[in-house]
């Protein structure tokens, strides 16, 4: 009889994507794969395309730190969930359970413990979240993304494995990303820029390099008055910054650099608001792909250089491949993906008022390694946001160089082996 693994984890994509990375490995090795999640959560949507997987929905309750009338109802849902998980595990008899955390995972870990099935938990953040803190006493081991997390775990249970990166994230193709987002393909943008330059008041060179040199020379000769033509439009670059930007655009063949904005898997209203307050300035310099979160797209704001999506799933590798820099929350999975792909980042971590402060720690750790710039939400204004984005973009080579020092470890294989070795016969 083949071996069987049960995954759990959900609530936000950060509690699902590690499972999505592992599932193909287990499927290839011939394991039967089951997933216990909530009835309608994001974990159900994200695992739906996987044919090799049997999904079981159970009742879930959120364990809140604040007062809410749901707090009265939810303990009953949690008890119901434990009972359902217990019965499912008893029936399916998995060899091992892997939990990526989130509230749905608590009843599953308890159900596994009651059935004496080994459970490995994964903690992506520097300090364990509430759901994992409740579950850890019932688990056989805890795999961590950060080495520092060991200090917050019972001795002997902690396994530092590092960040798990989905294989497909490495296979992105920039031109496919541009096509998906409706951004002008790089080659066409270069042609348009060259055509525009040919008929402009300033005759710029033929190649992007010649064009940049001419724009630089023109600006040095008369910094206060430089009119360049990009894509047929004359731009009065009276401001030194604007002149530099236009010269740079010419240098890149008329293609604006791409700024990817990811407010975590659910989107971030604070980031959305901040970005939209500075949209005019930002789109002068960047083509923006904004992952806004469910129900947060504003169609009226859409332009050739501002593309919004609620969430991008299969196409994310392509979109990442075409992105030059990233503005993001500091969720652990996302920032390690950016590090792996060498994307310079500006991070706006979730505040202590809205969370236990895990993203502040994640962001501090990345900043001290020189991988990102951090802008605290309390300090965000259109001006500070623009300055910080400009800073990251201008220093992008230095960020990339520091990220290049970071070894790319095969965490996925290591974690796979650890789970296999924890499984009961
Ligand atoms: C509000 C909240 O509770 N945030 C927590 C949640 O964040 P969140 O769920 O946002 O998780 P992460 O930022 O860690 O990961 C997001 C994941 O979603 C993917 N993605 C995102 C947007 C998109 O359009 N497409 C897509 O595929 C990313 O590639 C990444 O794999 O879990 C993280 C890991 O425990 C924590 O650090 C965060 O503090």
Centre of ligand 1 from the C-alpha of residue 97, in Å: 22
pLDDT in tens, 52-61: 999 999 998 7
Binding-site residues for UDP-N-acetyl-alpha-D-glucosamine = 12-14, 166, 265, 359
Q: Is 316 in the pocket of ligand 1 (CB under 6 A)?
A: yes
Query: Residue 329 C-alpha to ligand 1 middle, in angstroms?
Result: 9
The residue contributing the CA closest to ligand 1 atom 21 is 265
**3 state SS of 334:** helix
Is a pLDDT exceeding 80 seen at residue 252?
Answer: no
Could you tell me if 94 and 203 lie in one domain? no
Same domain (yes/no): 386, 240 = yes
Joined together, the tokens standing for residue 78 give 């949690």
Please choose, from the candidates 184, 173, 221, the residue with its C-alpha nearest in 3D space to the C-alpha of residue 318: 173
Model confidence pLDDT, tens digit, residues 63-114: 655 556 666 667 788 899 999 999 999 999 999 999 999 999 999 999 999 9
Looking at the structure, tell me whether residues 220 and 295 fall in a common domain: yes
Of the given ranges (90-99, 241-250, 368-377, 386-395), which has the lowest mean pLDDT?
241-250
What is the structure's pLDDT at 218? 38
Rounded average pLDDT over 392-417? 95
Residues 173 and 58 occupy one common structural domain: no
Going by the DSSP 8-state scheme, the letter that residue 7 receives in this structure is E
User: How close is the Cα of 16 to the center of ligand 1, in Å?
Assistant: 9
Whether this prediction's pTM lies above 0.90 is answered by no
> Percent of the chain scored above 70 by pLDDT?
80
What 3-state class would DSSP assign to 99? strand
- pLDDT value of position 201: 32
Q: What is the pLDDT of residues 274-331, one digit of tens each?
A: 999 999 999 999 999 999 999 999 999 999 999 999 999 999 999 999 999 999 999 9
Instruction: Report the alpha-carbon distance of residue 297 to residue 189 in Å, rounded.
Output: 26
Query: Is the per-residue pLDDT at 240 higher than 50?
Result: no
User: Ligand 1 mean position to 28 CA, how many Å?
Assistant: 26
Looking at the structure, do residues 212 and 111 belong to the same domain, yes or no?
no
358 lines ligand 1 (CB under 6 A): yes
- Mutational test site, ligand 1, from 268, 331, 352, 356, max ligand atoms within 8 Å of CB: 331
Q: Which atom of ligand 1 is nearest to the CA of 12?
A: 9
Q: Are residues 143 and 193 in the same domain?
A: no
Task: Please tell me the distance between residue 20's alpha carbon and the centre of ligand 1 in angstroms.
Answer: 13
Q: Are 369 and 300 contained in the same domain? A: yes
Predicted local confidence at residue 136, as pLDDT: 97
Regarding predicted confidence, which is higher, 393 or 208?
Answer: 393
Residue 291 CB–ligand 1 contact under 6 Å: yes
Q: Count of residues for the chain? A: 425
Residue 44: what pLDDT?
97
**Residue 154 shares a structural domain with residue 262:** no
The residue nearest atom 37 of ligand 1, judged by CA position, is: 331
CA of 108 to the centre of ligand 1 (A): 21
Q: Render pLDDT for 320-373 as a digit per residue (tens, 0 to 9).
A: 999 999 999 999 999 999 999 999 999 999 999 999 999 999 999 999 999 999
What beta strand segments (E) does 237-394 contain? 258-262, 287-291, 306-309, 325-328, 345-347, 372-374
pLDDT of residue 63: 61
Is residue 265 within 6 Å of ligand 1 at its C-beta? yes
d(CA 206, CA 215): 12
Whether 59 and 178 map to the same domain: the answer is: no
Q: What is the pLDDT of residue 231?
A: 32
- CA of 367 relative to ligand 1 center, distance in Å: 19
Average per-residue pLDDT for the chain: 86
Q: Which residues are annotated as a binding site?
A: 12-14, 166, 265, 359
pLDDT over 90, % of the chain = 74
CATH number at residue 142: 3.40.50.2000
Binning pLDDT at 50, 70 and 90, where does residue 229 land? Answer: very low
374 pLDDT higher than 80: yes
Nearest to 323 by CA among 245, 396, 251: 396
Burial group, residue 242, by CB count within 10 angstroms (0-12, 13-18, 19+): middle
Residue having the nearest C-alpha atom to atom 39 of ligand 1: 331
Helix (H) or strand (E) holding 304: none
Ligand 1 site-directed mutation target among 13, 65, 317, 321, most atoms within 8 Å of CB? 13
Alpha helix stretches (DSSP H) within 61-154: 70-92, 105-114, 130-135
Residue 236 and residue 156 share a domain: no
Residue 164 Cβ contacting ligand 1 at under 6 Å: no
Same domain, 95 and 224: no
Q: Which domain, by its residues, includes 199? A: 169-404
Residue 265 confidence (pLDDT): 87
**pLDDT of 246 above 90:** no
- Give tens-digit pLDDT for 171-213: 999 999 999 999 977 666 555 555 544 433 333 334 434 433 4
Ligand 1, atom 3, lies closest to the CA of 12
How many domains are contained in the chain? 2
**Lowest-confidence pick of 58-67, 117-126, 387-396:** 58-67
Residue 94 Cα, ligand 1 centroid: separation in angstroms?
28
225 shares its domain with 289 = yes
262 touches 336 (CB < 8 A): no
Burial of 1-26, coded b for 16+ CB within 10 Å and e otherwise, reads eebbbbbbbbbbbbbbbbbbbbbbbb
424/185 Cα distance (integer angstroms): 52
């Amino acid at each position: 009889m083949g071996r069987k693994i049960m995954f759990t984890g959900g609530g936000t994509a950060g509690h699902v994507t590690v499972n999505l990375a592992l599932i193909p490995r287990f499927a290839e090795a011939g394991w039967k794969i089951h997933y216990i999640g909530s009835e309608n959560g994001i974990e159900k949507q994200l695992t739906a395309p996987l044919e090799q997987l049997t999904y079981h929905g159970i009742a879930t309750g959120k364990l809140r730190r604040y007062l809410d009338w749901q707090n009265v109802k939810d303990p009953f849902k949690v008890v119901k969930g434990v009972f359902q998980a217990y019965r499912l595990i008893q029936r399916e008899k998995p060899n091992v359970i892997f939990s990526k955390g989130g509230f749905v995972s608590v009843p599953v870990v308890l159900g596994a413990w009651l059935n004496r099935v080994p459970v490995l938990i994964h903690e992506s953040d520097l300090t364990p979240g509430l759901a994992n803190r409740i579950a850890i006493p019932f688990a056989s081991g805890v795999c961590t993304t950060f080495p520092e997390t060991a200090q917050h775990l019972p001795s002997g249970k902690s396994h530092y494995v590092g960040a798990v990166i989905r294989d497909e994230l490495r296979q992105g193709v920039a031109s496919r990303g541009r096509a998906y987002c409706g951004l002008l393909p790089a080659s066409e943008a270069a042609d348009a820029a060259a055509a525009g330059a040919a008929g402009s008041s300033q005759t710029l060179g033929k190649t992007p390099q010649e064009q940049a040199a001419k724009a630089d020379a023109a600006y040095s000769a008369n910094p206060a008055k430089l009119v360049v033509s990009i894509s047929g439009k004359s731009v009065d670059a009276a401001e030194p910054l604007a002149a530099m930007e236009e010269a740079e655009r010419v240098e890149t063949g008329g293609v604006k650099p791409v700024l990817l904005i990811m407010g975590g898997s659910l989107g971030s209203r604070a980031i959305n608001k901040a970005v939209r307050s500075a949209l005019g300035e930002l789109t002068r310099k960047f083509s923006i792909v904004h992952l806004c979160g469910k129900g947060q797209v504003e169609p009226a704001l859409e332009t050739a250089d501002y593309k919004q999506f609620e969430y991008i799933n299969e196409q994310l590798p392509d979109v990442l491949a075409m992105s030059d820099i990233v503005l993001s929350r500091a969720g652990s999975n996302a920032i390690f993906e950016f590090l792996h792909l060498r994307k310079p980042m500006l991070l706006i971590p979730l505040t202590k008022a809205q969370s236990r402060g895990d993203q502040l720690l994640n962001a501090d750790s990345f900043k001290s390694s020189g991988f990102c710039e951090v802008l605290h939400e309390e300090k965000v204004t259109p001006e500070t946001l623009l300055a910080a984005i400009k800073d990251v973009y201008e220093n992008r080579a230095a960020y990339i160089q520091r990220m290049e020092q970071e070894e790319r470890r095969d965490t996925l294989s290591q974690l796979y082996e650890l789970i296999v070795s924890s499984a009961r016969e």
